[in-house]
Amino acid sequence: MHNKYCMNSIKIGTLRSVPKAAYGFVRDLRVRWALEELQLPYDEQLFDWESTNKPEYMRLHPFGQVPIYQEGDLQLFESGAILLHIAEKSETLMPSNPIERARTHAWMFSALNSVEPYMMNMVQIDRWATEEQWAILHRPEALEDAQDRLIDLSNWLNGKDYLEDRFTIADLLMTTVLGISRLFREDVVTQIPVLNAYRQNCEARPGYKKALDAQFATFAKNRRTN
C-alpha cells in the first residue's frame, strides 16, 4: 500500500522568485524539510508567478498555488498531502502503529485547519491590508482568535517535547505554521514560552536549516532586479 523508497526522482514545484519578505514562508519549505529529514534528494521545477494562474499550471494545482510535487507518475498538490505522501515512505516521520498514525493525521489537520487559517487572517491584516479600515478595526479580534488557538496548543504542549510521543511530520508541519507569526506586526509565538521553546526545538533540527537555506538560495539566485 505504501510507497517505500524508490528510484523515481522527486521534483518540487515552486515559484522562481518572490519578494524578499516572503523568503522562509513559501510553503515549499515544508516539503524541502520533510525530504531533508528522510535524506531524499530532489530537484526543483520553478514557475514564474505570472504562469501560476494559467490553465496549464491550474491542471497541476487547481487553485494555482505552490508547492506542487512530482514523483514518477504521481503529480500532487496541497502541502499537507505532499507531506503525508513523503512521511508514509518510512517510520522516520510517520509511526506505523495505527493509533499513533491516526493521531499524527489529527495533528496535521489541526495545523492546517484549526491553526493556520487564524495565522493567515493575521498575515492578511498585518501585511497585505495594513492601511485598510476594516483591518485596523478587526485586528484586535483577529489577534485574539489566533492567540486563543495558540494558547490551546501551548496548554497541550506544556510538559511535552512534541505533539505526541516523538517528532513526526505533524510537528514539522505545525512548526512551519507557528513560523507564520513572524509575519505579524509582533511575533506572538515568542510571547508564549511553551510554544516558543517547541518551535525553537523543532527548528534546531539540521533538516530545517538545510531546507531554509535551499529555499533562500533559490529565491536569491533568481531575484528580479526590476
Q: Cite the beta strand spans of 73-177 per DSSP E.
A: 74-77
H or E stretch covering 218: helix 206-221
Q: In terms of Cα–Cα distance, which of 169, 192, 25 is closest to 109?
A: 169
Residue 168 grid cell: 513526526
| Residue 105 binds its own copies (CB under 8 A) | yes
Q: In terms of Cα–Cα distance, which of 222, 108, 95 is closest to 176?
A: 108
Q: Which is nearer to its own copies, 152 or 165 (CB)?
A: 152
One of 14, 52, 70, 79 touching its own copies (CB under 8 A): 79
Q: Which is nearer to its own copies, 36 or 71 (CB)?
A: 71
One of 153, 174, 188, 212 touching its own copies (CB under 8 A): 153
| Residue 162 binds its own copies (CB under 8 A) | no
| Residue 149 binds its own copies (CB under 8 A) | yes
Cis peptide preceding 67, ω within 30 of 0: yes
Considering only the stretches 15-23, 43-51, 134-142, 193-201, report the one whose residues sit in contact with its own copies under the rule CB under 8 A.
134-142
Q: Which is nearer to its own copies, 33 or 77 (CB)?
A: 77
| Residue 81 binds its own copies (CB under 8 A) | yes
Considering only the stretches 31-39, 147-155, 186-194, 201-209, report the one whose residues sit in contact with its own copies under the rule CB under 8 A.
147-155
Considering only the stretches 1-9, 37-45, 196-204, 212-220, report the one whose residues sit in contact with its own copies under the rule CB under 8 A.
1-9
Q: In terms of Cα–Cα distance, which of 85, 82, 76 is closest to 29?
A: 82
Considering only the stretches 62-70, 186-194, 198-206, 210-218, report the one whose residues sit in contact with its own copies under the rule CB under 8 A.
62-70
Strand partners, 11: 43, 70
Q: Is residue 60 helix, strand or coil?
A: coil
One of 51, 58, 200, 213 touching its own copies (CB under 8 A): 58
Strands 74-77 and 43-47 come out as: unpaired
DSSP assignment of 16-28: S---GGGTTTSTH
One of 11, 103, 182, 205 touching its own copies (CB under 8 A): 103
H or E stretch covering 68: strand 68-71
Q: Is residue 162 helix, strand or coil?
A: coil
Interface with its own copies by CB under 8 A: which residues? 1-3, 58, 62-65, 73-74, 76-82, 84-85, 96, 98-99, 101-103, 105-110, 112-114, 116-117, 120-121, 132-135, 137-138, 141, 149, 152-153, 155-156
